[in-house]
Structure 1
């Protein structure tokens, strides 16, 4: 039986790639974008199997409305893929209030609104899978991506908690945590802060540290994504790419060593 899958940010990148893969194998997809013109190719190729919807995830009322429309249209929602988001590049000092708020509105609050909206639907079904597209930068950090890191750490904290709250309702939660991929996350859809020259050496070193091999091929994620969708016991944390695991292992080993070094001081502070 085909699944009903709601994917946000389906106009480009992972969202469009995964939506097309699901449609090709016979699933039904409700695809959202800020401009539905960007979804016309999916409609042209897959007809009634795709339900295109305009959505700015920053709008909480619109998020709840979209979930209601999808549930009414297809009769259920088996999987929510919270994919909408963008990258904000620049040092924390450089980041304006508007940029910081916009980053959190889309990457965190938009995901929260859709999650809140879909839970009652899945709870009534006694089944469902909420997939949050986070980042390995929700587990470790990189310089000049401070607000992006923060938004993904917030997504991870929310989703780990959510998993414990909804498990008894038959709802699974997964965090997709990719390393860098050659989508346009760092291109047309990215926002840049107003540069302060004191950070130029740091930005230069950061840019030079990335090799062509650092960036994964988006198309290669399709089999992994489909395995996650099809899993009866999906993982909470799901890394994508070959760079994420070694980076995480190094950072977590360093953290454990630091915790150990200061353990006695921490214990004494308990009183």
Structure 2
């Protein structure tokens, strides 16, 4: 008989987090699903009263995160799989964003994930095992106009996660950077904070909107199936691109960067070091 795993999923009320929560419950596991507003989880809580614990949590509040993780451990006796998924989108050009917007964005997308990692590691270390899945983005290798702060937060989390993976592997904890592609998650609607547009960028903004089109992307349950398989691996990869089209795009981005380096290798090598 397979022992049920205990998941701790941030941003679990909608989008990818909701899909991960549903998939884990369907597999017979137990889930602590956190969100600022857990009301959208009411139907799942009614269907899985013994297996789902909805938890109201603002991941930008470090003390609240530590207290929430302690409550989760007390409720289910421990944690096995932690999914750092909570996040939002700050849409706008770099110049347009206010200090308040930038700080609030990074408080959730970067610092929130760091606080969760800091809170769960002692519990996982005590058990001598555990998985931490850090949800970043296929775009962490470079910035894109109008979503630069989103990319910055995910790139910072990507870098910290590589360091974290090296630090905690000795304790039996595996960290995987999950580079998500574009899915229909509501990120560009309910999850978006927009800057006040400056007319100077109108042409570029129109060009970007035309390039992206209206396709919201596939449903997140296709990504959830991959995450379930990833979480079950005995020896998981340190990073994984989720999405066939996204995989191709990342390869193209990496190739373009490599070609740029080679084109200017002669200048790079003029300096020692």
TM-score clears 0.5: yes
Whether the 8 Å contact between 2:93 and 2:145 is mirrored in structure 1 is yes
**Residues paired across the two proteins, number:** 271
TM-score using structure 1 length: 0.96
Q: Cα offset for 1:213?
A: 5.7
Partner in structure 1 of residue 188 of structure 2: 186
Q: Residue 107 of structure 1 is aligned with which of 109, 123, 136?
A: 109
Question: What CA distance in whole angstroms lies between the structure 1 residues aligned with 2:177 and 2:235?
Answer: 13
1:31 to 25, 30, 33: 33
Report the equivalent of 1:50.
52
Partners of 1:41 and 1:220 in 2: CA distance: 21
Range that drifts further, 207-216 or 40-49: 207-216
User: Once the two structures are superposed, what CA deviation does each residue of 1:201-246 show, in whole Å capped at 9, x if it has no partner?
Assistant: 1111111112456723222212211111111111221112223222
Q: 1:151 aligns with which of 141, 150, 153?
A: 153
Output the TM-score relative to the length of structure 2. 0.95
Secondary structure of 2:7 counterpart: strand
Aligned to 1:199: 201
More helix by percentage: 1
After superposition, what is the alpha-carbon deviation per residue over 1:15-34, rounded to whole angstroms, capped at 9, x for unaligned? 11110111111100011111
Query: How far does the alpha carbon of each residue in 1:230-270 deviate from its partner, in whole angstroms, 9 at most, with x for none?
Result: 11111221112223222222221121122223334323311
Give the C-alpha shift of residue 94 in structure 1: 0.6
Q: Does 1:127 align with 2:112?
A: no
Deviations for 1:78-119, whole angstroms, at most 9, x for unmatched residues? 011011100111100111111100110000000000000101
Equivalent residue number for residue 117 of structure 1: 119
- Which secondary structure state, in structure 2, belongs to the residue aligned with residue 138 of structure 1? coil
Q: Is the 8 A contact 1:141 1:149 kept in 2?
A: yes
SS at 1:7's partner residue?
Answer: strand
RMSD over aligned Cα atoms: 1.4
